[in-house]
Amino acid sequence: MAARTLSRLTRLALAPALAIGATVGLASAPASAAVWNSCDQWGNTSLNGYTLYNNIWGSGAGSQCIWANSGTNWGVWADHPNTGGIKSYPDAKKVINKSITSLSSLTSSYNVTVPSSGAYNTSYDIWDTDYDYEIMLWVNKTGAVGPLGTSQGTVTLGGHTWTVYKGSNGANEVFSFIRTSNSTSGTVNVLPILKWIKDTKGWFGNETIGDVQFGYEITSSSGGLNFQTNNLTVSSS
């Protein structure tokens, strides 16, 4: 989404100046002490080759805290009001920096525990290095949330069946792949999806893939909800 895209780029440059303290503690963190936690709006750290972001970017947001035992095991407690609009995208990022044709593989495995209430999606957010194109892969969704753009039909790629949406937020093109049924664990073969966009549809050329992010796009979580990434791996060659 445009606001998230612009805010995401801005926070990387201005994070120290913009950091604010949330009004809640970390009571939601796991019983074993996390190696890192933050309730700051733009709180971030690097662990095990992944960069974690609290990333509260939307208007009307409430409180949110992120914790991590490692770059691949982390979670979020969020209390955002039951109003429209995305409030945050807490995520873990792996930098790839390879062109599509130079990649021989790009895969990711995920295992999450997510609430049955609220409004959110669990998604990959994949960017080219120039931030002209955004590829979203929604592996589950709950509540009143939906992708940008218009439906392009259903396709089976990368080990999953998706309904594909194509649109623009004014800042970049957005291609959203919405899994046709919710999943809390699995493996996604990302490269065939990128090649399908490039070769089959011709929606972009041989882009250099910069970031592969994975997280929770939260619209509402009134009363406080927990989102936990039990395990996440992103690998490329």
Domain containing 223 equals 2-236
Cα 80 to chain centroid, rounded: 17
Strand-pair partners of 114: none
Tell me if 99 sits within 8 A of 209, measured CB to CB.
yes
Tell me if 74 sits within 8 A of 66, measured CB to CB.
yes
- Report the 3 state secondary structure along 160-225: EEEEEEEEECCCCEEEEEEECCCCCEEEEEHHHHHHHHHHHHCCCCCCEEEEEEEEEEEEECCCCE
Mean of pLDDT values over 213-227? 98
Alpha-helical regions (H) of the chain:
2-18, 190-195
pLDDT tens by residue, 147-187: 999 999 999 999 999 999 999 999 999 999 999 999 999 99
Find the CATH number of the domain harbouring 80: 2.60.120.180
Q: Give how many domains the chain has, as a whole number.
A: 1
- 32 pLDDT band, cuts 50/70/90, is low
**Full-model pTM:** 0.88
Rounded CA-CA distance 49/237 in Å is 15
